[in-house]
Amino acid sequence: MFRHIGRKVRGLAVALCIAGMLGAVGAAAFLYVAKILELIPCIAICVGGLLVSWLSSWVTYCIGDTHVKLERLEAKLIPKPAYAEYLAGNNAPRGACELCGKTTDLINAKIEDQLGVRYRKVCRECFAANQCTEAD
């Protein structure tokens, strides 16, 4: 019920807009037919109701659309469960060494030399060759 709520809020915005517009037209017609109000106030009620319904649907639709976009962003930024389990097991990440380019298990290294302090993900061989210390 609460999954993908943004789509449901957007649908609700459309439904509320249609219902509000139909309600405004219906109320204005009823007031005119029942001889409660004259034609000019009924037209004002109809036009005002249409505008209020249309503008308020923008706010509701915007909230739903924002939620849909946040869900998409969250799906891209939060690690997938398998990767999160992999990281939780303190396994070394795999990838290309930033110094030699070899694909292997990587170590987060702190390199201090004449260039200053640099932080890189390096293989074990480059870690030993460059007198690195493990970065926190």
The token pair that represents 83 in the structure block:
């990767």
Q: How far is CA 74 from CA 8, 69, 71, 102, 131, in A?
A: 18, 9, 5, 31, 39
Are 97 and 66 found together in one domain? no
Alpha-carbon torsion 30, 36, 37, 39, what sign?
positive
pLDDT at 51: 96
The token pair that represents 88 in the structure block:
């939780």
Residue whose pair of structure tokens reads 């007031």 in the numeric block: 31
In a domain, 84, yes or no: no
pLDDT at 111: 83
pLDDT at 124: 87
Residue 105 pairs with which residues in a beta bridge? 94
User: How far, in Å, CA of 23 to CA of 46, rounded?
Assistant: 9
Are 73 and 110 found together in one domain? no
In a domain, 85, yes or no: no
pLDDT at 36: 93
pLDDT at 9: 93
Are 57 and 120 found together in one domain? no
Are 72 and 94 found together in one domain? no
In a domain, 121, yes or no: yes
Are 55 and 10 found together in one domain? yes
Provide the domain count of the chain: 2
Name the more confident of 52 and 73.
52
The token pair that represents 20 in the structure block:
């509000």
Are 14 and 72 found together in one domain? yes
φ, ψ at 110 (rounded to 5°)? -110, 115
> For residue 83, with 0-12 CB atoms within 10 Å meaning exposed, 13-18 middle and 19 or more buried, which class applies?
exposed
Are 66 and 97 found together in one domain? no
- pLDDT band at residue 114 under the 50/70/90 scheme: confident
Looking at 78, 108, 126, the residue that finishes a domain is 78
Query: What confidence tens digit (pLDDT) does each residue in 64-112 have?
Result: 999 999 988 887 777 665 555 555 656 667 888 888 888 888 888 888 8
Query: What confidence tens digit (pLDDT) does each residue in 4-29 have?
Result: 899 999 999 999 999 999 999 999 99
- Domain hosting 102: range is 90-134
Residue 40 predicted with pLDDT over 70: yes
Name the more confident of 43 and 115.
43
CB 57 within 8 A of CB 17: yes
Residue whose pair of structure tokens reads 């690195």 in the numeric block: 132
Global pTM value: 0.55
